């Protein structure tokens, strides 16, 4: 039985080793499979598996802080690697919901199989976003039609982070039933092996300005075999947990990038301290103030999740952090000067990495909608209680 403290220490040891390679890693435009093999050997893939099934997960409040520390450490060495790794426990969260009334042998079989795959070191990711959906995975135009005892998936998908690294990915599609589209599992191990498989075609390799190495490719599915989530009620029940986990872990990546940028800026500004102009001094103090605010916001997210009432705080914290960090790095770049614009320096890449997280996890408009809905629900509860 693996212990969470031991796995966290092994992951942080890996991150420290990889920090010595940060210059080379910043030049990468793809992921290294050996990194993920090392993470699996350290026990990271057990992060989404319940303890009763041999994993690390007990409850969200107890696990959120050590999980965040692991992702923070990884992002300090390699933000792209950390972003892809963070999706694994988030995706497995969809099987942590309580068993629903429609459950049975299929639910038990599927749940055990999902956990077994993670226990064997296999990584999970997502291929849910679609062109024109605005980032809302429920606004899917893809179709999954039942063909005998299996579903066949057809549709356009993009932002499949971890393509070629993940063994399985989840997606959404319309299955002809009333109600919201369910989750489906697609086996993408052939991509990892570098093989071509009928029904799944690469339409656009990832070429993002930020998070350049995440391999977030675009794919076309045509009658591709897929397996539907066996219990829609359990899946829906798990969404608040998944939302909190994803918001905190993505925010840990943002904050780690911010910390690296601030550390780099301090080294530059200490050397120039006596020659800084008044506007530059003000800009620096404001950057330090915002950095302090970002750390407080993240701590507030963790504390709220640990208290058992973290849904709204985690969603809000992720938005606040993404906006605060991007604005601060942009302003700090003006203080540091034109050298930030050089590709030989890491600062510009850090700014684009942070922007990628703000744009894609989820896009601003959808994130604001989600938070507005949560605020309205909270206001309604206050009114009724009053």
pLDDT band of residue 344 (cuts 50, 70, 90) is confident
pTM of the predicted model over 0.75: yes
Question: pLDDT at residue 71 above 90?
Answer: yes
Which helix (DSSP H) or strand (DSSP E) does residue 165 occupy?
Answer: none
Question: pLDDT at residue 141 above 90?
Answer: yes
Of the ranges 86-95, 137-146, 315-324, the best mean pLDDT one: 86-95
Q: How much is the pLDDT for 269?
A: 86
CB contact set of 261 (below 8 Å; sequence gap of 6+): 329, 332, 346, 347, 350, 351
How far out from the chain centre does Cα 58 lie?
20
Question: pLDDT at residue 384 above 50?
Answer: no
Helices (H), 93-138: 105-119
Q: How much is the pLDDT for 358?
A: 72
Alpha carbon dihedral 232, 234, 235, 238, in 10-degree steps, equals: 160
Q: How much is the pLDDT for 386?
A: 43
Residue 86 token pair: 């963070």
Question: pLDDT at residue 279 above 90?
Answer: no
Q: How much is the pLDDT for 383?
A: 53
CA 360 – CA 160 distance, rounded (Å): 11
Q: How much is the pLDDT for 310?
A: 95
Taking a C-beta distance cutoff of 8 angstroms, is the pair 160, 213 a contact? no
Average pLDDT over residues 374-378: 88
Of 122, 359, 181, 365, the closest CA to residue 171 belongs to 181
What is the DSSP track for 247-312?
HHHHHHHHHHHHHHHHHHHHHHHHHHGGG--HHHHHHHHHHHHHHHHHHHHHHHHHHHHHHT--HH
Q: How much is the pLDDT for 280?
A: 87
Question: pLDDT at residue 381 above 90?
Answer: no
Write down all domains in the chain, each with its CATH number in brackets.
Answer: 4-119 (1.10.540.10), 124-231 (2.40.110.10), 238-385 (1.20.140.10)
pLDDT band of residue 103 (cuts 50, 70, 90) is low
Residue 362: asked if its preceding bond is cis (omega within 30°), the reply is: yes
CA 181 – CA 373 distance, rounded (Å): 20
């Amino acid at each position: 039985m693996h212990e969470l403290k031991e796995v966290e220490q092994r992951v942080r040891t890996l991150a420290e080793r990889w920090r010595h390679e940060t210059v080379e890693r910043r030049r990468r435009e793809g992921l290294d499979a050996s990194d993920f093999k090392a993470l699996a050997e350290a026990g990271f893939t057990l992060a989404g598996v319940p303890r009763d099934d041999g994993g690390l997960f007990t409850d969200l409040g107890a696990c959120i802080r050590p999980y965040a520390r692991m992702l923070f450490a990884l992002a300090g060495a390699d933000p792209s690697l950390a972003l892809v790794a963070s999706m694994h426990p988030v995706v497995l969260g969809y099987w942590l919901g309580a068993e629903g009334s429609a459950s049975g042998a299929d639910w038990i079989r599927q749940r055990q199989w999902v956990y077994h795959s993670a226990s064997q070191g296999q990584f999970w990711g997502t291929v849910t976003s679609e062109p024109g959906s605005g980032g809302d995975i429920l606004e899917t135009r893809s179709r999954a039609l039942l063909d005998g005892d299996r579903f066949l998936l057809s549709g356009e998908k993009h932002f499949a982070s971890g393509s070629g690294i993940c063994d399985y990915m989840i997606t959404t599609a319309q299955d002809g039933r009333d109600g919201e589209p369910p989750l489906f599992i697609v086996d993408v191990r052939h991509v990892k092996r570098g093989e071509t498989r009928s029904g799944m075609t690469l339409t656009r390799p990832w070429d993002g300005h930020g998070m350049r190495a995440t391999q977030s490719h675009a794919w076309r599915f045509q009658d591709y075999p897929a397996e539907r989530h066996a219990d829609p009620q359990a899946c829906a029940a798990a969404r608040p947990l998944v939302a909190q986990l994803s918001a905190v872990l993505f925010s840990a990546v943002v904050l780690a990038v911010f910390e690296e940028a601030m550390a780099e800026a301090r080294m530059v500004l200490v050397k120039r301290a006596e020659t800084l102009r008044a506007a530059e001094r003000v800009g620096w103090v404001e950057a330090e103030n915002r950095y302090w605010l970002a750390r407080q916001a993240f701590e507030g997210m963790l504390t709220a999740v640990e208290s058992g009432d973290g849904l709204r705080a985690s969603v809000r914290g992720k938005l606040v952090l993404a906006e605060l960090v991007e604005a601060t790095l942009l302003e700090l770049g003006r203080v540091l000067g034109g050298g930030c614009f050089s590709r030989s320096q890491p600062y510009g890449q850090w700014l684009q990495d942070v922007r990628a997280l703000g744009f894609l996890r989820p896009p601003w408009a959808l994130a604001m909608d989600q938070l507005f809905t949560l605020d309205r629900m909270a206001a309604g509860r206050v009114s009724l209680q009053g």
